Structure 1
Amino acid sequence: MASSRLDPDHVRIQRGAEPFLLDGGEVGCVCTHGFTASPEEMRWLATYLHDRGLTVYVPRLAGHGTQPAIMRRQHWLNWYEDELDAIALLRARCRQVFAVGLSMGGLLSLRAGEDGLVDGVIALAAPVFIEQRAARFARLIDFVRPYTRKGDWPGALDEAVRAAQRALGLDDYGRLDYGIRPTASVVQLSALMRDVRRRLSQLTAPLLLVYSRADDTAPYASLDYIVRHVRSADVVQHTLERSGHVLTQDVERDTVYRLVWEFLQPRLDG
């Protein structure tokens, strides 16, 4: 487990948690990972889209894939700046750019859509609110408990990901997710959710929303909330039944990849 103590002498990106670019055609996708995770959880989706001719960039959000003590020092706007950098990078080489995000990455994708920066938004299990009571009091809790351990970490999903990585001939470093949550970062996640909710009526771009009823992190009610508040005329919704929160790596991941591609394909120029 990563240490909660800041070690400035050993600031390194974990092996496998690096951002990456898959150079392809003139349509680009920014695929953004979730809270406490890393670009690794978007790798299989990114490869799937690249195999179909798209250029894909997967950014690493500030403080992720390094040390939790670095993550707790980030403001949500730091994460949004990472999203903006990624979009700008693809705008320089692609005629169309779509934002594809999982969990907090989905929130950042929605925010980019609200700002009119992308040609479409795909939000996978993006929570626009959190039902856990502790999250609502995170600012106070941070004074006495700067980190909380994840009870399910690394969990069965990490073992399944490692097995899949081995089957693909890859290094089996697993999900590359922190085993602790910086409480200050939960505060920033909540602030990001509030900002996204406040701006939803500004979102007019084509929108794909994919959520799972079995997700115990992103409330399924987020789906309906987003649909009711955006002004997009082109909204596609899909519900999964068996996946947990990490839709891009869980049991229905192949279905998720297909849904993303089926949404993108008819909306590509030319």
Structure 2
Amino acid sequence: MLRPRIIPCLLIQDGGLVKTVRFKDPKYVGDPINAVKIFNEKEADELIVLDIDASVSGAEPNYKRIAHLAAECRMPLCYGGGIRTAEQAKTIISLGVEKVAISAAALEDPKLITRIADEIGRQSVVVVLDYRPRLLSKTCDVWTHNGTRNTKRNVLDVALEMQQLGAGEIVINSIDHDGRMKGYDVGLASKLRKTINIPMTVLGGAGALEHMRDVVAECGVVGVAAGSYFVFKGPYRAVLISYPSDQQKDEVVYSALQSN
């Protein structure tokens, strides 16, 4: 039986692990390699690591860091940040990474997705779409470059286009929900599930396992990813890396499938 994937999402800035709120005010929370080791021990389903500097600065992917992360990681690893060519994606996969994540580059050159899929296989191509509602409208626009540039394109339209071009998975990330730990944008997630037929992952807003359950109850077998929920503890956001036990996942998240 297929089950939802519960996925920690780690953000890297200046070589350190950080967490943002609405894509602003990054707070340093530790060393990425140490976090990977802890998630190994806790047997996380999968791990997403995003270098949030690379796309904005135009930097080449840090292959040395990627190789180190891949060598430590004992779960499927998705890496994003600075990938602009199929050759870069192929190099990253050769380092032991299972999937590469593309965001701004895919919006600037959509056919890049096809070229990468042809090179490494579509199952390894993930498109990350950061979005927020358009003012005075029910439409949600895709934003790039850490939420600073509005493409003025509907996130659902873009997701469908990326699927048609060869993406193997779509990650939607709500900018307005990021870091607030008050729940996901379940409404948009539900619309996306009805729009595409490839795997999808929902990111932005998790503050409890029940929030993940809400997404699974509405969308079925999907990925539910989180940052703050896995690295902070309590109202004062003390840094403490955590991950649910198998029993917790069974009782809260996986049980949501029964409601579908």
TM range (shorter): 0.3 to 0.5
After TM superposition, the score normalised by the length of structure 1 is 0.36
- Higher RCO by CA contacts (8 Å cutoff, separation 6 or greater): 1
- The structure carrying a bigger strand percent of its residues is 2
